[in-house]
Structure 1
């Protein structure tokens, strides 16, 4: 088992009688104690952010970018320490596309936010007049993150906000505060006081943050239900919104697909982070001609992929992060079984590994209308649905109220492109699923939210456009 002494962990935790115990996701042993903040502390942090913002903005893009690049280097230097904290708290293993990968991505996205150019846009220049669009800071950004990719998603929120001259008050999920506190500790080695603060508290404080009169922008990643409440709350302060909400992503495997060629990418599109990913593949529609082959390929990988404590080398699947999510996955799989679904792999907890482990599960012969198909499972269970006509598969894939991502799997690129254009989702991948690039905009449609992150679009989303005409 990999271990490391963490000076970062020591610096961010508080004495037991002054904080809340945070459990190791795999063992449920206490990692440390997180601070518990109250409404008065929230007001103090927002006031400090408001006070610090003009000087931070006055540094200009070049200096702010220099600072962010220095932070990215600091993240890389602290990578193993951060990865161990993340692995223990969230549950994802160090190995595979998991904890070390997430910390590496945090550095990459920080650098990207620093380095992407954003010049004034000339929209009219006809000899008689000229009009330019500039992008000014908004002010104070409230960033509210989830527990599944707590470090990487925090960076998606704070790095572009800081680059554009805003200050940030960040609220992590109550399930994963230590990972985010550790990230902020590294960031704040290079930032002026008040530019980035973390409020650690329950959802009530999160609600107060979104309604705060001194908040100018809200960035939220989480459930659709919470997103709707944030929209209502923002009416009081007219804060701008970027909402990345739930996803029930569909994949369509077309006839003629080379199953051997796509099987590994298909598996990881579903089971990355043990299925606890907003843009993971959640419903898989497979043409009858390759249906059995796809089911068998996924089941074989599900049965043999190493699962266990994230600090043990070689494990690449971990536990569910919390009891609530474990119960949701268990319920949905049992509902699918009761509805006639054929469990070909998994379908049960793995108590010998720990209390929140659930075996990677493949359920065949299910239909639309089954809870496992219609609800976002956010865990290691995939329903595989049979279809005969591509038009029917597209209709069924688009039937969800959510539209975060989707994917098409085919040996024929032109055919895949034609189907991709018909799918209602913010991103449609071909022969892959959930792969993100800091240069490429990302966001959802329908009930999966609105606004975009990453790239130039992500910088503009945390800025106020201002037209200068002369």
Structure 2
């Protein structure tokens, strides 16, 4: 399996792909049956005019789910979404990202060896995306960019096909005055180097008190220097961003493979971009209230991290629109298979993973059975209804 993702470090593949998917499988094995079984409603709270009626809610599969897989997490994201769709009773059409067909074919072969019936998963050609989204699938799940999300949503609307959009972020990190800057620097270094920065919830916009920005930048620079990370890849979009930053009066530091932008609060919007590369912006703010004001105007709302004392961080978390918030950590806690994952604004809508992600692969059907007390169906009641309906 590791050999089929040669462009990512084996430790990243193991930690960020294989282990989270194994955890998700165990979650489904343990929880799926109980989450998907019929749920009877208690007679307590039943409206009095429904005396004699018993109801339950049934979760039914949607049908055929189209999953458009990403290239940055080609096994974990595509695998978990596929397994959730199958666990809910659907069949799957799986469209790999460029260069990932061999990986997903191997994944499907392992499922087949484990007893999955032939034909339950159909792997599409890598270039089949534009045509596939025009077909009448029962659900489309996309993991991709905002631009791709718009195109898929427009095409899906022609058939009124529901969609789940897991789109990119420009994740904020809030560094409280009480934060341990050494811990923050280590976390930012991890986020910058994990999969060479190709993570949708990598740290991008780091809000830090102006007095602490230089100290944090110095600790991060030391870590980048000592780690020897020098995976040199040319990112034209990052070149364009750095030019924009310099023209706006910000500073740019190249530290090995990483790019660190130094911005003031009034320049923060320049870093609110969907860009996969090893970069982040250290944004000097007067306090966290100013950071929250900036965040309230941001286009993306996928993940966020807060560093500092827990009580203050929890209060701040309530003001952040992101779908996933971590305190004194980043990225790793979101791999908990019990947690739903999704964003808002330009980061998409709907969720995958967790209880909510599994249920999103189904539709709810209510079934009500009357056993007695149907007053409105009695003969005299129908006569009265006809009299007063004239």
Shift of 1:100: 5.3
1:286–1:392 CA distance, 2 compared to 1 (3 A): same
Q: Map of 1:227-306 to 2, 5 A cutoff?
A: 227-306=149-228
Are the aligned partners of 2:207 and 2:284 in contact in 1 as well (CA < 8 Å)? yes
Is 1:200–2:125 an aligned residue pair? yes
Task: Give the superposition deviation at 1:109.
Answer: 1.9
Contact 1:188–1:196 (Cα < 8 Å) also in 2: no
> 1:254-296 deviations in whole A, cap 9, x for unaligned?
1121112333223223442111111111111101232222111
Give me the whole-angstrom Cα distance separating, in 1, the residues matched to 2:125 and 2:228.
34
Instruction: Say which is worse superposed, 162-171 or 193-202, in terms of deviation.
Output: 193-202
Q: Is this contact kept in 2: 1:367–1:373, CA < 8 A?
A: no
Q: Distance in 2 between matches of 1:199 and 1:306?
A: 40
Specify the alignment match of 2:38 in structure 1.
120
How far residue 319 of structure 1 moved from its aligned partner, in angstroms, is: 5.7
2:366 match: 467
The aligned length equals 357
Residue 380 of structure 1 is matched in structure 2 by 278
Q: In structure 2, the residue corresponding to 1:282 is in which secondary structure?
A: strand
In 1, Cα distance between the equivalents of 2:129 and 2:96?
Answer: 9
**Aligned in 2, Cα 1:188/1:374: closer, same or farther, shift over 3 Å?**
same
CA distance in 1, matches of 2:238, 2:269: 10
1:335 matched residue in structure 2: 244
Over 3 Å counting, the alpha-carbon distance change for 1:267 and 1:245 in structure 2 is: same
1:106 aligns to what SS in structure 2?
helix
Residue pairs, 1:13-162, within 5 angstroms:
82-86=1-5, 88=6, 91-95=7-11, 97-99=12-14, 101-116=16-31, 117-118=34-35, 119-126=37-44, 128-162=52-86
- Name the CA distance, whole Å, in 2 between partners of 1:343 and 1:228: 31
CA-based RMSD of the aligned residues comes to 2.2
Once the 2 structures are TM-superposed, how far is the Cα of residue 187 of structure 1 from its aligned partner?
2.2
1:339–1:98 Cα change, 3 Å:
farther
Tell me what 1:5 maps to: none
Hey, what's the Cα distance between the residues in 1 that align with 2:328 and 2:293? 20
| 1:104-130 deviation digits (Å, cap 9, x = unpaired) | 222222332332231333344237433
| Correspondence for 2:321 | 424
User: Within 5 A, what are the aligned runs for 1:330-369?
Assistant: 330-346=239-255, 359-365=257-263, 368-369=266-267
CA contact (8 A) 1:249 1:281 kept: yes
The yes-or-no answer on 1:389 pairing with 2:308 is: no
Offset, 1:135? 0.6
Query: Where in structure 1 do 4 or more consecutive aligned residues deviate above 6 Å?
Result: none
2: distance between equivalents of 1:177 and 1:339? 42
Instruction: Please give the alpha-carbon distance, in whole angstroms, between the structure 1 residues aligned to 2:104 and 2:159.
Output: 26
TM, length-normalised to structure 1 = 0.71
Tell me, in whole angstroms, the C-alpha distance in 2 between the residues paired with 1:189 and 1:387: 55
User: What TM-score do you get using the length of structure 2 for normalisation?
Assistant: 0.85
Gaps of 5+ in 2: 45-50, 370-390
